[in-house]
Amino acid sequence: MSVMLDAKDVFALGPVAAVAAIRNALTEGLDPEGDVPRVILPLAGGQGLLMPSETDGWFGVKVATVAPGNTARGLRRINATYLLHDSETLTPAAVIDGVALTTLRTPAVTVAACLDRLRVLAAFSPGGLRLVVFGAGPQGQGHVRTIRAHVPVADVTVVTRRGGVSPSWANRHLAADDAAVAGQVRSADVVVAATSAREPVVDGHLVRDSAVVLAVGSHEPTARELDGVLMRRATVVVESLGVAFAEAGDIFLAVREGLLDAEALVTMADLLRSGAAVRPDRPMVVKTSGMAWEDLVVAIAVYRQGGRRV
């Protein structure tokens, strides 16, 4: 009989275990390039997403919806449910809160990719790292929480279109057109882009050579949060080459503009398994669109920790 795992059960896993699940899956041989492509369905009110995957004796699928009009209605823009099955018998093991799972796994993936770089930065910043986060939603907060769980953080600036009251997880909240934003980005060790923007929100000229930039807000080839200037300067890490060119506008558009060499992209699997070179004198960009295998390996970890107890 399947169990129901709600948001509390999902978040009980914690960011450290979620990051470890992603890193372990890749170092043990999981091949993201072989994952089943996400199916994106146009719907009357937005999009439907189907994300199936199988690994390590488990099969799972996330059914998600994106309804842009829900924001004005006071409803969640993204809704999702995750179904986890035993691969041998194909019996359902758990029904999991898909929104919570996405909120946990998205920063787990980006931090899994850049964790070694974050630790190096932290070693040279005894007071803690300085973060600038574009976007005040769950993914902005989730990235701060996940980074804090692994390295000390000294200061967090959140940037949104209009600014406003600072959330509890940030030191200040600036409007995007505030002149102070440029100075914050120039001094940042980590820049997170977690917005619904379709045009760049980060000025690539401002990012430090040693900085890490994490971009998670878009999964369409025509939308981008990072400009070509930054992509030309950076070592760019992606989940999968196939997904990067099919869904990541930050990658696709920069390559089309001649500002990013497609052959220079580094995959997370290569980075973690073979130690692919990431130059310390260039920004490190991690661009993710979200893949089904990521949901699955974190869902397995959630179930193993909480499902049997329930």
Closest CA to 25 of 294, 305, 306, 275: 294
Please check whether residue 189 is in contact with residue 125, taking contact to mean a CB–CB distance below 8 angstroms: yes
Give kind and range of the element (H or E) at residue 255.
Answer: helix 249-256
Spatial neighbors of 27 by CB under 8 A, at least 6 apart, are: 272, 273
How many CA within 13 A on the CB side of residue 92?
11
The two tokens of residue 41 are 């369905």
Spatial neighbors of 68 by CB under 8 A, at least 6 apart, are: 46, 77, 196
Its pTM stands at 0.94
Spatial neighbors of 157 by CB under 8 A, at least 6 apart, are: 130, 131, 132, 133, 170, 171, 172, 173, 174, 181, 184, 188
Stated length of the chain:
310
Show pLDDT as tens, one digit a residue, over the chain (310 residues): 689 999 999 999 999 999 999 999 999 999 999 999 889 899 999 999 999 999 999 999 999 999 989 989 999 888 999 999 999 999 999 999 999 999 999 999 999 999 999 999 999 998 999 999 999 999 999 999 999 999 999 999 999 999 989 999 999 999 999 999 999 999 999 999 999 899 999 999 999 999 999 999 988 899 999 999 999 999 999 999 999 999 999 999 999 999 999 999 999 999 999 877 788 899 999 999 999 999 999 999 999 997 555 4
Closest CA to 191 of 255, 143, 224: 143
